[in-house]
């Protein structure tokens, strides 16, 4: 992920503001993000794409036969269980042979555990460069009744630097869209995975189907920080856009909270263009 990291060295290549569509939900998550930059890092299983972080697993042992296959499986067995008896190694080899037969028959269920472990490696904050996409307002902001929060990319970079000093890894990556899943080797050698293999594994976090290309997604990934909120702070919030169908009550309540907090956040109100199929924004609070 070196192409966009460290963030602060690549600000010229990134949008200055990245957006999160939210709702005025009962738990107050949307308001909390708009007021204080409180962002939720989800696990892959919580996201709406059932293929998120999935990949096509490959393994050299699917191409081996006879003694070469058994020798390979015996070495793998001893890597995983160094104190295994000959009988135990033989048992593991036999299981490996049966596993190969299932894989060659098209059953990849044996790789499911690897997939699950991969999906739980990092928390994901999905952002977009497009705050004016009508379909995303409909999908993610309660049919235009919610809000869209803009976080300053520079602020995300400052948090990344701070976390690195604590040996914690936060990354920002632009999602890449393609027709096929990434292919990743799941073979682990005696010295672990190579740097190239780890890079391929990392790419699964920001590779998605072309079906989602319209979202122009950027992802903040936080190593080991999953299914919990992270506070970027009120200063990270550049602007908040209120939906086309936002209620008067939600709008007034949110702006009043910003006023009480002395926030400098700009608030805009979405409206229909009179001549095109697009949204336009009017400033209703200058900050």
DSSP 55-98: -EEE-GGGG--HHHHHHHHHHHHHHH-TT--HHHHHHHHHHHHH
Q: What is the CA radius of gyration of the chain?
A: 24
In a domain, 273, yes or no: yes
pTM, two decimal places: 0.82
How many Å apart are CA 58 and CA 76, to the nearest integer? Answer: 16
Per-residue pLDDT in tens (0 to 9) along the chain, 287 residues: 444 478 888 888 999 999 999 999 888 999 999 999 999 999 998 999 999 998 887 777 778 899 998 998 888 788 768 888 999 999 988 888 887 887 788 776 767 766 777 778 899 999 999 999 999 999 999 999 999 999 999 999 999 999 999 999 999 989 999 999 988 876 655 455 567 767 777 888 999 999 999 999 999 999 989 999 999 999 999 999 999 999 999 999 999 999 999 999 999 999 999 999 999 999 999 97
Q: Are residues 69 and 14 part of one domain?
A: no
Indicate the residue among 117, 135, 162 that finishes a domain.
Answer: 117
> Do 176 and 220 sit in the same domain of this protein?
yes
| Residue 95 shares a structural domain with residue 231 | no
- Please give the residue range of the domain that contains residue 269: 2-43+121-285
- The rounded distance, in Å, linking the Cα atoms of 262 and 84 is 65
At 14, list the tokens.
């990134």
Structural domain count, the chain: 2
In sign, the C-alpha dihedral spanning 255, 239, 137, 1 is negative
Instruction: Answer yes or no: do 219 and 256 share one domain.
Output: yes
Q: Are residues 154 and 189 in the same domain?
A: yes
Rounded to the nearest 5 percent, the helix, strand and coil shares of the chain are 45, 25, 30
Q: Give CA–CA dist 19/239, Å, rounded.
A: 9
Residues 136 and 9 in one domain: yes
Q: Is residue 48 part of a domain?
A: no
Same domain assignment for residues 96 and 133 = no
Residue 53 located in a structural domain: no
- Give the separation between CA 150 and CA 21, rounded to whole angstroms: 9
Q: 141 with 256, same domain?
A: yes
């Amino acid at each position: 992920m070196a192409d966009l990291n460290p963030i602060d060295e690549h600000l010229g290549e990134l949008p200055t503001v990245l957006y999160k569509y939210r709702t005025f939900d009962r738990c107050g998550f949307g308001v909390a993000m708009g007021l204080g930059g409180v962002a939720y890092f989800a696990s892959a299983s919580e996201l709406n794409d059932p293929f998120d972080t999935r990949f096509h697993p490959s393994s050299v042992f699917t191409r081996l036969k006879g003694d070469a296959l058994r020798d390979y499986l015996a070495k793998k067995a001893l890597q995983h269980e160094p104190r295994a008896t000959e009988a135990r190694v033989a048992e593991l080899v036999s299981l490996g042979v049966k596993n190969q037969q299932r894989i060659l028959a098209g059953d990849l269920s044996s790789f499911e555990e690897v997939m699950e472990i991969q999906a739980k490696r990092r928390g994901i904050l999905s952002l977009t460069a497009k705050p004016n996409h009508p379909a995303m307002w409909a999908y993610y902001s309660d049919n235009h009744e919610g809000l869209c929060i803009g976080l300053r990319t520079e602020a995300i970079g400052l948090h990344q630097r701070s976390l690195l000093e604590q040996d914690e890894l936060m990354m920002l990556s632009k999602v890449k869209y393609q027709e096929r899943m990434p292919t990743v080797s799941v073979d682990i050698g005696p010295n672990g995975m190579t740097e190239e293999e780890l890079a391929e594994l990392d790419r699964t976090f920001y590779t998605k189907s072309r079906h989602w290309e319209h979202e122009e997604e950027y992802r903040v990934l936080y190593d080991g920080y999953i299914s919990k909120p992270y506070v970027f702070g009120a200063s990270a919030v550049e602007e908040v856009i209120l939906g086309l169908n936002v209620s008067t009550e939600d709008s007034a309540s949110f702006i009043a909270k910003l006023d009480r907090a002395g926030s400098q956040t700009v608030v805009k109100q979405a409206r229909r263009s009179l001549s095109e199929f697009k949204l336009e924004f009017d400033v209703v609070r200058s900050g």
